[in-house]
Chain A
Amino acid sequence: MSLRVRMVVLAVGLLGLAAMLVAAFRKLPGFGGSWHPYGQRAVETALGRHTSNVIASINFDQRAFDTMGEQAILFGAVLGTVVILRTTRDERRVEPEPARVPAPLRRYALAVLPVTLLTGLYVVAHGQVSPGGGFQGGVVAATALHLLYIAVDYRALQRVRSVPLFTLADAAGEAGYPLLGLGVLMTGASFLENVLPYGTLGTLSSGGTVPVLNAAIGLEVAAAVVVLLAQFLDQAIVIESEDGEQGAGSVGDGDGRRGEGGAA
C-alpha cells in the first residue's frame, strides 16, 4: 500500500469514527448534570461502611473484585517487562563509574528523599480517610527512592534497591490481595466481603477491610514501580551488547547520568 492510499484510508477511518463519536456524545447525559444514580448509591454505601473516602470504598470494598483484576493486569505487565528486558546471553553488564554530583544538588536531593518517602507512605496509609491510597502513594514512595540516583549515583541506588527483594514484595502484594479474599471466605462471608468492624468515620482505623487491601495494593504498586524503573535504568546505563556497543560512561553518552530529567 503506498503512503498516499494509507493516508486516505486513515482519513476516512478517522472521519467516520469522529462522526460516530459525536453522534454518541449527543446521547450522553449532559455535562455537569445532577443525575448520577450509581454515584449516589455508592456514596450511601460508603458512608454506611464508615469510609470517608468514597473512592477508596469503591475500589477496595464495593468493587474489590474488579480491583483484583486490575492488580493482576499490573502484575502481568511488570512480569512481562522483567522477562523481556532480562540480560540475554549476548549482553554483558558494565558497572557505571562513580559520578561526581554538585554539593547543593546532593544536599537538596538527600533532604527531599525522606520527606517524599514519608509523603508516599502517608498517602498510602490515609487512603480510606482522605484523597490518596495504595495506587497513588505507592508510586510516590517508589519514585522517592530514585532521588538517591540524583543525589549520589547509580551504584548507591543499586545498593539500596535489591531487585529480587522488590520483585518478591511485588509478588507478595499481588498474592496477598486474593489471599485476604480467601481469608474472608473462612469466616463464612463471601469473597472479599467487608467483614472487619467498620470503626469510626474519618479515623485511620475506619472502613473495615479497606485499609488492609489498600496496603496490599500500596506494597504491590511501590514494588512494581521500583522493579520497572530498575529494568529501564539497567538497560539505559548498565547492560550493553557484546558486539561493540560502547560503555556507559563513554564519549557521546554524557557521564552516564543523563535521562533522569523527569524524576525530580
Chain B
Amino acid sequence: MADDLPIVLALLLVTVAGTATVLTRDPVRQVFALAGLGLALALLFAVLQAPDVALSQLAVGTALTPLMVLLSVRKVRRKARSERREEHE
C-alpha cells in the first residue's frame, strides 16, 4: 500500500483538478483550471510509468489546449462587446 501512495496522491490531485475545471463557469478562470488538470494528469502519467504519455500531456495539456481556449475566449468576448456597444448606440 505504501508503494501506491504517490499514485493515490496523483489520483486525488486529478480528481480535484477535474472537478474544479467543470465547476469553474467563467471561461477565463476555467483555462487555468484546465492547465492545472493538464499538469496533474502529466504527474499521474509519470507515476504510472508512462513517460511518453506524460511528455505529450505536458506539451498539449498545459500549453496548447489552454492557449487555444484563451484565444477563443478573447475572440468571442471582443465580438460580444462590439455588439453590445452597437445596441447601446
Contacts and interface: CB of A to CB of B under 8 A. Distances in A.
Direct contact of A and B (CB under 8 A): yes
B63 interface: yes
Interface stretch (A13-21, A103-111, A178-186, A255-263): A255-263
Given A136-B52, A136-B55, A253-B78, A236 B71 contact: yes
Contacts of B29: none
Given A133-B52, A139-B64, A259 B71 contact: yes
A232 B70 CA distance: 9
B4 A32 contact: yes
The B contact surface, by secondary structure, is helix
Nearest to B68: A232
Interface string A238-259: 0011011110000011000011
Contact of A143 (B31, B63, B74): B63
A125 interface: no
B56 A236 contact: no
Interface string B46-89: 00000110011001101110111011111100110110011000
A56 B52 CA distance: 9
A235 interface: yes
Contacts of A136: 52, 55-56, 59
Contacts of A140: 59
B37 interface: no
B66 A262 contact: yes
Interface of B: 4, 31, 35, 51-52, 55-56, 59-60, 62-64, 66-68, 70-75, 78-79, 81-82, 85-86
Given A136-B59, A235-B72, A261-B67, 20 more contacts: A53-B52, A55-B52, A123-B55, A131-B52, A133-B52, A139-B56, A139-B63, A139-B64, A143-B59, A143-B64, A225-B64, A236-B71, A236-B74, A243-B86, A246-B82, A252-B81, A259-B70, A262-B31, A262-B35, A262-B70
18 contacts: A32-B4, A123-B55, A139-B56, A228-B68, A235-B72, A236-B71, A241-B82, A244-B82, A244-B86, A245-B78, A245-B82, A253-B78, A258-B74, A259-B70, A259-B74, A262-B35, A262-B63, A262-B70
Interface of A: 32, 53, 55-56, 123, 131-133, 135-136, 139-140, 143, 225, 228-229, 232-233, 235-236, 240-241, 243-246, 252-253, 258-263
